Amino acid sequence: MRRVVCPGSFDPVTYGHIDIIGRAAKQYDEVFAAVLNNVNKRGLFTVPEKLDMLKEGVSEFGNVRVTEFDGLLVDFCRENGIETIVRSLRSVSDFDYELQIAQMNYRLSGVETVFMTANPQYSFLSSSLVREIAQHNGDVSSLVPPYVQDRLRKKYAERAGQ
């Protein structure tokens, strides 16, 4: 069985994330969509919120398992019998950064990294841009699913009310 992981912070999940996970699901037997639980980094959404949004986003893919991990991704791979990491490349600058990580992961554990180019429709898209637009009440309807839009609105309304 060929298992891969699509790791990320997914803060929040975007159509770009869902596209890459879906494309991986067509190529591999089992895909782990793994949310990084980084206790040193405070995101907009909690890990349980991210897991819920990601589960909803990938629900159409029967071979995708949504989970979380902390620590080193290569340890998560070892514990789950995963030999390949799938990462998206949006630009040349992404490649420089991702190549260093891929080489370190390979050196640490022999885990391979496969790069998928972003769908041109989403090549500019990042969670941080979505958060910035949403924070200023901008339209993110073409960037994230409706349930993510709703959660963004609620989250920023809560923060404004504090």
d(CA 156, CA 159): 5
Catalytic site residue from 23, 87, 127, 151 = 127
Known active-site residue 155: no
Please spell the DSSP secondary structure of 34-98, one letter per residue: EEE--TTS--SS-HHHHHHHHHHHTTT-TTEEEEEE-S-HHHHHHHTT--EEEEEE-SHHHHHHH
Q: Write down the catalytic residue from 23, 50, 87, 90.
A: 90
Catalytic residue flag (residue 17): yes
Among 150, 40, 38, 17, smallest CA distance to 86 is for 17
Of 26, 41, 42, 136, catalytic: 41
At what angle are helices 15-27 and 47-57 packed, to 10 degrees? 60
Catalytic: which of 9, 17, 50, 151?
A: 17
Q: Is 3 a catalytic residue?
A: no
159 is an active site residue: no
Active centre residues (catalytic): 17, 41, 90, 127
